Amino acid sequence: MTDDAPTYYCANHPDVATNLRCNRCEKPICPKCAVLTPTGYRCKECVRGQQKQFETAQWYDYVIAILVAAGLAFFGSFLVRFLGFFTIFLAPILAIGIAEAVRFAVGRRRSKRLFQLATAAAVLGCVPLLLQSLLGIFFGGFNLGILWLGLYAVTLSTTIYYRLLGISIR
């Protein structure tokens, strides 16, 4: 510790000297209590408060998001049956469409958990036809349908979450 640097004591650990301060509330914090954010060190309380601002989802949003994502993904999987090879091009569009529908249905409210659940629900929506295709292969022989359905499910799982998360979080 140099003489010119002021020494504070951590707000949570009074016996720990530190030169770090939260750059939002100016509270002295020790390295253990500091969280490195894109804008500098912050105390855990400030980081939590900030996250709350971003997490605006209500309990019913989870129900709505799951129903919309699973329902649309299920109907989309019927479409994939007809699309065949063109699933390669259209699955990302379907995924974006589902993400946008979820965003609209929950009134643009947001939370990471909400987006994760919506993505999981969308993948679950693909399961009925995937299972059906699997049974079809079991009893009838291989057809490419399951490949396109699988591609569709994977595309949904990788696209929806980031699509929902990507926009409007700063």
Binding interface with Zn ion (CB under 5 A): 10, 12-13, 22, 24-25, 30, 32-33, 43, 46
- Residue 33 Cβ vs Zn ion, minimum distance, rounded to whole Å: 3
The whole-angstrom separation of Cα 164 and Cα 57 is 13
Nearer to Zn ion, 1 or 138 (CB): 1
- Residue 53 Cβ vs Zn ion, minimum distance, rounded to whole Å: 14
Nearer to Zn ion, 22 or 57 (CB): 22
The answer to whether the beta carbons of residues 105 and 97 sit under 8 Å apart is no
Nearer to Zn ion, 21 or 103 (CB): 21
- Residue 2 Cβ vs Zn ion, minimum distance, rounded to whole Å: 21
Closest CA to 79 of 149, 157, 150: 149
For strands 8-9 and 34-37, give the pairing.
Answer: unpaired
- Residue 10 Cβ vs Zn ion, minimum distance, rounded to whole Å: 3
Nearer to Zn ion, 24 or 81 (CB): 24
- Sign, Cα dihedral of 131, 83, 101, 98: positive
- Residue 36 Cβ vs Zn ion, minimum distance, rounded to whole Å: 13
Contacts of 47 (CB under 8 A, 6+ apart): 35, 37
Nearer to Zn ion, 25 or 93 (CB): 25
The whole-angstrom separation of Cα 37 and Cα 41 is 6
Contacts of 140 (CB under 8 A, 6+ apart): none
